[in-house]
Amino acid sequence: MSKQDLIDAVAQNADITKEKAGAAVNAMISYIEQTLAKGEEVSMPPLGKFKISARKARDGRNPTTGATIKIPASNVPKFQPSKTLKDAVNK
């Protein structure tokens, strides 16, 4: 499903215009990005949680040359699905 497919589905299910649905989807994505950037998590009980996980710096290999490279530490967004979502998928 692409972002446009999601906007179309929101517009149809909420009986609103695609422009309003697009604004709502973009606002939700922006809110999640801003909240994660602050280091906080976003919890949506029927879906799950978006949170930040810290990755330590580590050594890696360039697959082309085989040379060792340093991979810097970084923060990675993660999604943890809720039990409700898992149950809905596994019906």
Cα end-to-end span (Å), the chain: 20
Query: Hey, which residues does 59 pair with through a beta bridge?
Result: 70
Tens digits of residue pLDDT in 10-45: 999 999 999 999 999 999 999 999 999 999 999 999
Q: Which CATH superfamily is domain 3-89 in?
A: IHF-like DNA-binding proteins (4.10.520.10)
Could you read off the pLDDT of 34-74 as tens digits, one per residue? 999 999 999 999 999 999 999 999 999 999 999 999 999 99
- Does this model's pTM top 0.85? My answer is no
β-strand pairing of 48-55 with 74-81: antiparallel
Q: Which amino acid is at 26?
A: N
Domain boundaries of the chain, sorted by first residue: 3-89
